[in-house]
Amino acid sequence: MSSDFYTSSILPYSGIIIKICRAYTDSQEDFEDYYQEVCLQIWRSKDNFRGDSKWSTWIYRLSLNICLTLVKKKRKTHQYYNTENIIQNELTEDKTVFSDEDLSLLYEAIKQLSEVDRAVILLYLEEKPNKEIAEIIGTTPNNIGVRISRIKERLKKILNGKIN
Protein backbone atom coordinates (compact mmCIF):
# COMPACT_ATOMS: atom_id res chain seq x y z
CA MET A 1 0.00 0.00 0.00
CA SER A 2 1.46 3.37 -0.91
CA SER A 3 1.66 5.71 2.06
CA ASP A 4 -1.63 7.32 1.15
CA PHE A 5 -3.50 4.43 -0.50
CA TYR A 6 -5.64 3.98 2.62
CA THR A 7 -6.22 7.72 2.99
CA SER A 8 -6.98 8.40 -0.65
CA SER A 9 -8.68 5.24 -1.85
CA ILE A 10 -10.30 3.58 1.17
CA LEU A 11 -10.97 6.30 3.73
CA PRO A 12 -13.41 8.29 1.53
CA TYR A 13 -15.55 5.13 1.36
CA SER A 14 -15.08 4.12 4.99
CA GLY A 15 -18.63 5.29 5.75
CA ILE A 16 -20.26 2.68 3.57
CA ILE A 17 -17.70 0.02 4.59
CA ILE A 18 -18.58 0.71 8.24
CA LYS A 19 -22.32 0.55 7.54
CA ILE A 20 -21.92 -2.75 5.68
CA CYS A 21 -19.71 -4.29 8.37
CA ARG A 22 -22.17 -3.18 11.08
CA ALA A 23 -25.03 -4.90 9.25
CA TYR A 24 -23.24 -8.24 9.27
CA THR A 25 -21.79 -8.27 12.78
CA ASP A 26 -23.23 -8.46 16.26
CA SER A 27 -20.36 -7.24 18.38
CA GLN A 28 -17.89 -4.36 18.35
CA GLU A 29 -15.01 -6.86 18.23
CA ASP A 30 -16.41 -8.62 15.14
CA PHE A 31 -17.19 -5.29 13.53
CA GLU A 32 -13.57 -4.11 13.93
CA ASP A 33 -12.26 -7.44 12.61
CA TYR A 34 -14.55 -7.26 9.57
CA TYR A 35 -13.56 -3.65 8.87
CA GLN A 36 -9.88 -4.53 9.08
CA GLU A 37 -10.33 -7.56 6.83
CA VAL A 38 -12.24 -5.51 4.25
CA CYS A 39 -9.46 -2.86 4.17
CA LEU A 40 -6.81 -5.55 3.90
CA GLN A 41 -8.63 -7.34 1.07
CA ILE A 42 -9.19 -4.08 -0.84
CA TRP A 43 -5.46 -3.43 -0.66
CA ARG A 44 -4.65 -7.02 -1.68
CA SER A 45 -7.05 -6.97 -4.61
CA LYS A 46 -6.47 -3.43 -5.85
CA ASP A 47 -4.48 -4.72 -8.82
CA ASN A 48 -7.55 -6.68 -9.93
CA PHE A 49 -9.51 -3.45 -10.37
CA ARG A 50 -9.79 -3.10 -14.14
CA GLY A 51 -11.82 0.08 -14.27
CA ASP A 52 -14.88 -1.65 -15.76
CA SER A 53 -16.94 -0.09 -12.99
CA LYS A 54 -16.52 2.90 -10.69
CA TRP A 55 -13.97 2.48 -7.88
CA SER A 56 -16.78 3.03 -5.35
CA THR A 57 -18.90 0.27 -6.95
CA TRP A 58 -15.95 -2.05 -6.82
CA ILE A 59 -15.36 -1.23 -3.14
CA TYR A 60 -19.04 -1.87 -2.25
CA ARG A 61 -19.00 -5.19 -4.11
CA LEU A 62 -15.79 -6.29 -2.47
CA SER A 63 -16.92 -5.19 1.01
CA LEU A 64 -20.19 -7.09 0.67
CA ASN A 65 -18.50 -10.22 -0.65
CA ILE A 66 -15.93 -10.19 2.14
CA CYS A 67 -18.60 -9.70 4.82
CA LEU A 68 -20.72 -12.51 3.33
CA THR A 69 -17.69 -14.81 3.29
CA LEU A 70 -16.81 -13.95 6.88
CA VAL A 71 -20.40 -14.56 7.98
CA LYS A 72 -20.32 -17.99 6.33
CA LYS A 73 -16.95 -18.79 7.89
CA LYS A 74 -18.21 -17.75 11.31
CA ARG A 75 -21.28 -19.93 10.91
CA LYS A 76 -19.12 -22.91 10.00
CA THR A 77 -16.87 -22.35 13.02
CA HIS A 78 -19.94 -22.17 15.26
CA GLN A 79 -20.97 -25.63 14.10
CA TYR A 80 -17.91 -27.04 15.83
CA TYR A 81 -18.83 -25.46 19.16
CA ASN A 82 -20.98 -27.29 21.63
CA THR A 83 -24.40 -25.91 22.54
CA GLU A 84 -23.13 -24.47 25.82
CA ASN A 85 -20.54 -22.40 23.99
CA ILE A 86 -23.09 -21.09 21.53
CA ILE A 87 -25.40 -19.96 24.31
CA GLN A 88 -22.47 -18.29 26.06
CA ASN A 89 -21.47 -16.61 22.83
CA GLU A 90 -24.96 -15.31 22.18
CA LEU A 91 -25.10 -13.87 25.66
CA THR A 92 -21.91 -11.88 25.13
CA GLU A 93 -23.02 -10.45 21.78
CA ASP A 94 -24.03 -6.84 22.05
CA LYS A 95 -26.57 -5.03 19.92
CA THR A 96 -25.53 -2.31 17.52
CA VAL A 97 -26.02 0.83 19.57
CA PHE A 98 -25.99 4.25 17.99
CA SER A 99 -26.68 7.54 19.75
CA ASP A 100 -29.79 7.74 17.59
CA GLU A 101 -32.25 5.23 19.04
CA ASP A 102 -34.28 4.96 15.84
CA LEU A 103 -31.17 4.18 13.84
CA SER A 104 -30.25 1.42 16.31
CA LEU A 105 -33.72 -0.08 15.91
CA LEU A 106 -33.50 0.16 12.13
CA TYR A 107 -30.14 -1.63 12.20
CA GLU A 108 -31.52 -4.41 14.38
CA ALA A 109 -34.39 -4.77 11.91
CA ILE A 110 -31.99 -4.90 8.95
CA LYS A 111 -30.06 -7.66 10.69
CA GLN A 112 -33.20 -9.78 10.69
CA LEU A 113 -33.22 -9.77 6.88
CA SER A 114 -31.47 -12.35 4.73
CA GLU A 115 -27.83 -11.59 3.89
CA VAL A 116 -28.62 -10.55 0.31
CA ASP A 117 -31.58 -8.39 1.35
CA ARG A 118 -29.29 -6.64 3.84
CA ALA A 119 -26.89 -5.80 1.02
CA VAL A 120 -29.71 -4.51 -1.20
CA ILE A 121 -31.28 -2.28 1.44
CA LEU A 122 -27.92 -0.86 2.56
CA LEU A 123 -27.11 0.21 -0.98
CA TYR A 124 -30.63 1.56 -1.45
CA LEU A 125 -30.39 3.61 1.74
CA GLU A 126 -27.05 4.91 0.50
CA GLU A 127 -29.04 6.26 -2.45
CA LYS A 128 -27.35 4.07 -5.01
CA PRO A 129 -29.38 3.83 -8.23
CA ASN A 130 -31.03 0.46 -8.95
CA LYS A 131 -28.67 -0.04 -11.88
CA GLU A 132 -25.59 0.21 -9.65
CA ILE A 133 -27.16 -2.00 -6.96
CA ALA A 134 -27.96 -4.58 -9.64
CA GLU A 135 -24.39 -4.39 -10.88
CA ILE A 136 -23.01 -4.93 -7.39
CA ILE A 137 -25.40 -7.75 -6.45
CA GLY A 138 -25.32 -9.35 -9.88
CA THR A 139 -28.96 -9.10 -11.00
CA THR A 140 -31.18 -6.85 -13.12
CA PRO A 141 -32.37 -3.36 -12.10
CA ASN A 142 -36.02 -4.51 -12.39
CA ASN A 143 -35.45 -7.31 -9.90
CA ILE A 144 -33.84 -4.83 -7.54
CA GLY A 145 -36.84 -2.49 -7.74
CA VAL A 146 -39.25 -5.29 -6.81
CA ARG A 147 -36.91 -6.57 -4.08
CA ILE A 148 -36.56 -3.12 -2.50
CA SER A 149 -40.35 -2.72 -2.21
CA ARG A 150 -40.61 -6.12 -0.50
CA ILE A 151 -37.73 -5.39 1.88
CA LYS A 152 -39.23 -2.03 2.85
CA GLU A 153 -42.55 -3.75 3.59
CA ARG A 154 -40.75 -6.32 5.72
CA LEU A 155 -38.83 -3.63 7.62
CA LYS A 156 -42.05 -1.70 8.25
CA LYS A 157 -43.61 -4.81 9.75
CA ILE A 158 -40.59 -5.45 11.98
CA LEU A 159 -40.46 -1.83 13.11
CA ASN A 160 -44.21 -1.49 13.45
CA GLY A 161 -45.02 0.47 16.62
CA LYS A 162 -41.40 0.73 17.69
CA ILE A 163 -40.72 4.02 15.94
CA ASN A 164 -42.88 7.11 16.13
Partner 1 sequence: MEKSIESIWKNGFLDKNTIVIPKLNNLSNQKSIHIIDKFKRRFKININALIIFSFIILVISFLVKIQIMGVLIFILLNVVAIINKRLLKGLKKIDKNVSSYRYLKSFDAWMQEQIAFNMKISRYIYPYVSIALSSGFWFSSSFQKALDSLFEGYKPYITYGIPVYWVIVTLCIVILSAIFGARIYKWDLNLVYGSILKKLDELIKDMEGLRTQ
Q: Does 18 bind partner 1 (CB under 8 A)?
A: yes
Of the candidates 31, 55, 68, 116, which one interacts with partner 1 according to CB under 8 A?
31
Segment 136-155, which members bind partner 1 (CB under 8 A)?
A: 152, 155
Q: Smallest gap, in angstroms, from Cβ of residue 65 to partner 1?
A: 18
Residue 13 class from Cβ within 10 Å (0-12 exposed, 13-18 middle, 19+ buried)? Answer: middle
Report the C-alpha gap between 126 and 68 in whole angstroms: 19
Q: What is the DSSP letter of 112?
A: T
- Cβ proximity to partner 1: between 11 and 146 the closer is 11
Three-class secondary structure assignment of 79-91 = HHCCHHHHHHHHH
Report the C-alpha gap between 108 and 113 in whole angstroms: 9
Of the candidates 32, 90, 94, 115, which one interacts with partner 1 according to CB under 8 A?
32
Segment 82-111, which members bind partner 1 (CB under 8 A)?
A: 98-100, 102-103, 106
Report the C-alpha gap between 164 and 161 in whole angstroms: 7
Residues that bind partner 1 (CB under 8 A): 1-3, 5-6, 11, 14-15, 18-19, 31-32, 35-36, 39-40, 43-44, 47, 98-100, 102-103, 106, 125, 152, 155-156, 159, 163-164
